[in-house]
Amino acid sequence: MKRTMRTAAALLVGTAMMGLAAYAQAEGGPQGRRARVDGVEELAARLNARERTIERRESTLKDREADLASAEERLMERMKALEDLRAAIDEQLQGLDEDEERRREGLVVMVEKMKAKEAAPMVAALDKELAVDLLDRMNRAKAGKLLAQLPPPVAAELAERLTAPVEVP
């Protein structure tokens, strides 16, 4: 593109100079010719200055394009690293969820094997959400016997939470 612009500018300058020289000869007179030649030289100087300005702008534009390409590449690398990190975190969270699920199932089995009178104080001391989850996973008959052994205010709260609508996160 740079060569094409230079060639076009050179052709334009050359054509202008030839045309003006021919015009000056046709007009006659050395003073008229000298004035016209000075005008042609001034025009050629302005065209050359304009060409240099265009070349500087092209150079600046190419530098900016290179900077943008480099920044885009760095950004893409950063996004890939973040995506990889997110996948690793999701995998770890999945593992933690599976561990928690195993522990809760183990607690259900353990409480179901206990007598209701023995399990009641422990369930009453549990976090209410965990107690509700435990009772919800238990055999209904065993959960009912366990609720009967809990202090009435605790049993009422847990029964209320058991029947409440499930909230979706």
Q: What would the pLDDT profile of 26-84 be if each residue is shown by its tens digit?
A: 555 556 566 666 777 888 888 899 999 999 999 999 999 999 999 999 999 999 999 99
Q: Mean pLDDT over residues 116-131, rounded?
A: 91
pLDDT at 153 over 90: yes
- Any idea of the CA torsion for 77, 78, 80, 83, to the nearest 10 degrees? 180
Residue 50 has phi, psi (to 5 degrees) of -65, -40
Backbone dihedral region for residue 48 (phi beyond 0: left; psi -120 to 50: alpha; all else: beta): alpha
pLDDT value for 58: 93
The proportion of the chain whose per-residue pLDDT surpasses 70, expressed as a percent, equals 77
Considering Cα of 56, then 58, then 60, then 63, what sign does the dihedral take? negative
Closest to 12 in 3D by CA, of 43, 34, 36, 39:
43
The pLDDT, as a whole number, for residue 165 is: 80
